[in-house]
Amino acid sequence: MNNYDLKNFGYLIDTLPRDLFNSLSKECKTGEKNNPEFITGLTAKNVAVHRSLVNNKKVLFDYIKNLIEKYDEMWPGLYDIKVMTNDLPYKFCEPWINYQRKGEYIPNHNHDGIYSYSIWVNIPTPSIFEFTYTNIMGNIYQQKINLTNEDEGKIILFPSKLPHIVYPFNDTNKVRMSISGNLNFDSSVATKARSVNRSVYNYE
């Protein structure tokens, strides 16, 4: 008798280096007032405010690059469903900051790209980050991640097409802050080889 597993994917959670997190946190504290608006396409009522992340991008992207390599080691099956994967390098898209206040939320959505990430910068009250996914039988499941201030400074990396939501809170007037972004393929770079050096990373 032989046993076979069907392919599936997961998510990674890691802790940012302290210096990087402190720099990102510093920008987030002033970014709602000083940074340009970032358009995400989420336009429902009571949706969190979004601003562009202006600084620290190079260091952040270098860190995420290592996370992606770890993800590909753990879930190599993701390569099998990527479009045009074998001849395009990765590209980091512009990240943004989420400012969520009392009664606001981030509705269920997914992202453009191959990988997406969120960094939990300020969690003033317990909150829920939730994935929605289907199993191989088509049944719908939710994966709740309960967050507290102990999760500040952590990053989650996941496939971009995985739907997720951030629930509202109502017990504090403090602002919940997080950073999000995507990683896609750089279609402006064409190579003839069917394999590519994944150490090549470009910026948008």
CATH of the domain at 161: 2.60.120.620
| 17 in a structural domain | yes
Q: What pLDDT, on a 0 to 100 scale, did the predictor assign at position 199? A: 43
State the Cα torsion 125-150-28-202 to the nearest 10°: -130
| 1 in a structural domain | no
| 114 in a structural domain | yes
Angstrom distance (rounded) from CA 89 to CA 197: 7
What is this structure's pTM?
Answer: 0.87
Q: With 50 as the cut, is the pLDDT of residue 198 above it?
A: no
Q: Is 172 helix (H, G, I), strand (E, B) or coil?
A: coil
Cβ-contact 24, 16 below 8 angstroms: yes
Comparing CA positions, the residue from 58, 52, 50 lying closest to residue 203 is: 58
Q: What letter would DSSP give residue 110? A: -
Q: Quick one: pLDDT band at residue 75, thresholds 50, 70, 90?
A: confident
| 179 in a structural domain | yes
Beta strand 12-15 with 154-159 is antiparallel
Angstrom distance (rounded) from CA 162 to CA 111: 8
Angle at alpha carbon of residue 113, lines to 21 and 27, rounded to 5°? 25
| 121 in a structural domain | yes
Cβ-contact 189, 88 below 8 angstroms: yes
Angstrom distance (rounded) from CA 83 to CA 59: 28
Q: What pLDDT, on a 0 to 100 scale, did the predictor assign at position 86? A: 54
- The residue behind tokens 């940012």 is 16
Q: What pLDDT, on a 0 to 100 scale, did the predictor assign at position 82? A: 54
Cβ-proximal residues to 6 (8 Å cutoff; 6+ apart), any chain: 136
pLDDT in tens, 16-61: 999 999 999 999 999 999 999 998 877 667 888 999 999 999 999 9
Q: Which residue has the higher pLDDT, 9 or 109?
A: 109
| 2 in a structural domain | no
| 100 in a structural domain | yes
Task: Output the six-digit token pair for 188.
Answer: 């402006």
| 127 in a structural domain | yes
Q: Which residues of 87-112 are buried (b: 16+ CB within 10 A; e: fewer)?
A: ebbbbbbebbbbbbbbebbbeeeebe
Containing domain of residue 152, as a range?
12-203
Q: What is the H or E stretch that residue 64 is in?
A: helix 57-74
Report the domain count for the chain: 1
pLDDT in tens, 113-161: 889 999 999 999 999 999 999 888 889 999 999 999 999 999 999 999 9
Distance of CA 86 to the CA centre of its chain: 23
